[in-house]
Structures are given as structure tokens and as C-alpha cells.
């Protein structure tokens, strides 16, 4: 598959300006298992030239016939063409989208989380409303529109981690999709304070649990207050499992699907 070509930004700039991404998003104040409210700046052009697909090369030790269950096959029959169309438009591997959809909603168009996230891509209400305005969509709960908005949102997140290597960039994107971009920004800033590399997933992965309330003294040293900029984050374990799970599904789908 083609890999997305990136121009590495200066790492020092990433450390100095962890909130550069506010040009694209309203940083969420809450977190959860689905995207938090973030303002997507700029309207998508329906005639945008498809970009090269992204996603690191992965391998699997499992046999292909074992990888597709009935729900996955049914989703591909019902929505495969739609997923491929919008993934191609926004330059993503459609199998990555499929992996996210499996983790987020189990391929249920009527899925709704306890926080109100809905649809196949489990978009939070405020996020969905903002995406609907930018993309001029009428009903974000409609499967096709939910898929389009979710893929567009995923691409916007991916673009904000351009200073990272491909594998790190993808995992950071998934973490931001799950926990909210502002949580990942806080973790990057904390990683930098601890002399880790904020552009690498391992540094952010280790920093995420440190955003919880029990580390308020550390927060005071970093931010001059008892909590991170976006507030305490107690669901780091859930986000780390989310990233691993999506990557496992993606690994499987790359082996099983062309």
C-alpha cells in the first residue's frame, strides 16, 4: 500500500507549541471512549483530490480465514463501498476505518454510548454537530453521513501529528480519537517535561496515566496548578487498550482484505 509522505516539523516547535492544534479544534474539557467536542476548522471540499493512503505496514501471525466474523462481513456488504469512497477521498486506508468502526460500535448503526456518542463511528454530539456544519451534512446519525464525518475527523487528527513517524502518528491519532485531542496534548507536554519524546507514542503512552488526580503535585510542577490544562484524566487505561485493540483489528484486516 502507499504510505503518506510527510514533512517532519521541528520537534522543538512541537514541544514549545503543544496547543498549536487549537487552530483546528476547540480543546475538549471532558474525556471518554469516543471523540470529545473539538471544533474542526475549514469546510471540506467535495471535490478534494484523494490523498495517498496512510497506515504503517503491519504483520499478523494469524490465518486470513479466521479474521472476518459474520458482523464484519455484513458491514462490508452494507457499507464497504461507502467506507472505501470516503477513505479514498480523505486519504486513509479503508481497513483502518473498518477497524475503528468495529471497536467503536461493533458495526451497529444504532449504537449509542452512555456519554451520548452515536452511530457507526461513535461521534460525540457536539463533535458531530460541528462536523455536520463543516461538511454540510443534514443528519449525522445517517450511516453514510456518520461514516463520512468520522473519516474526515480522523484525517484532521492525523494531520495534526505530522511531526511523528508513521507508526507513532497513527497511534497518537487513535488515542486522540478516543480520549480527545486535548488529553493527548497534555500528555505530550507532560512527556516533554519528563524528558521523553512527545512526538513518539511510547512517551505519550507513559505520560497518559500521569494525568490522573493522584499526580497533582506533578501537575503543579508542569502547569503551576493542581491539574492538567484539560483537567484530570482517569481513563488512560481504557485509551491504551483502545489503541491496542484497533491496531490488532487493523492488523487482521490488512491480512484478510485487499
Catalytic residues: 104
- Other CB atoms within a 10 A radius of the CB of residue 13 amount to 11
Angle between helices 94-105 and 70-90 (to 10 degrees): 130
What are the cell numbers at 177? 480519537
Virtual torsion, Cα 29, 33, 35, 38, nearest 10 deg: 0
Q: Which of 155, 186, 168 is nearest to 40 (CA)?
A: 155
Amino acid at each position: 500500500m502507499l504510505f503518506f509522505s510527510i514533512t517532519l516539523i521541528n520537534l522543538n516547535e512541537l514541544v514549545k507549541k503543544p496547543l498549536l492544534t487549537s487552530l483546528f479544534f476547540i480543546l475538549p474539557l471532558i474525556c471518554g471512549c469516543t471523540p470529545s467536542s473539538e471544533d474542526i476548522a475549514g469546510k471540506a471540499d467535495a471535490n478534494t483530490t484523494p490523498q495517498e493512503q496512510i497506515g504503517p505496514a503491519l504483520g499478523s501471525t494469524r490465518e486470513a480465514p479466521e479474521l472476518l466474523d459474520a458482523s464484519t462481513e455484513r458491514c462490508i456488504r452494507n457499507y464497504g463501498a461507502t467506507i472505501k469512497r470516503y477513505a479514498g477521498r480523505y486519504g486513509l486506508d479503508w481497513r483502518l476505518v473498518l477497524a475503528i468502526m468495529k471497536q467503536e460500535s461493533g458495526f451497529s448503526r444504532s449504537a449509542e454510548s452512555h456519554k451520548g456518542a452515536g452511530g457507526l463511528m461513535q461521534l460525540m454530539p457536539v463533535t458531530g454537530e460541528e462536523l455536520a456544519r463543516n461538511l454540510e451534512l443534514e443528519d449525522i446519525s445517517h450511516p453514510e453521513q456518520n461514516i463520512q464525518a468520522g473519516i474526515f475527523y480522523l484525517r484532521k487528527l492525523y494531520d495534526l501529528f505530522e511531526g511523528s513517524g508513521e507508526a507513532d502518528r497513527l497511534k497518537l491519532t487513535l488515542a486522540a480519537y478516543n480520549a480527545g485531542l486535548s488529553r493527548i496534548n497534555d500528555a505530550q507536554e507532560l512527556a516533554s517535561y519528563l524528558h521523553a519524546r512527545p512526538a513518539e507514542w511510547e512517551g505519550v503512552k507513559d505520560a497518559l496515566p500521569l494525568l490522573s488526580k493522584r499526580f497533582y503535585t506533578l501537575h503543579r510542577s508542569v502547569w503551576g496548578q493542581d491539574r492538567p490544562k484539560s483537567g484530570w484524566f482517569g481513563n488512560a487505561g481504557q485509551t491504551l487498550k483502545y489503541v491496542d485493540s484497533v491496531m490488532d483489528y487493523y492488523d487482521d484486516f490488512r491480512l484478510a482484505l485487499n
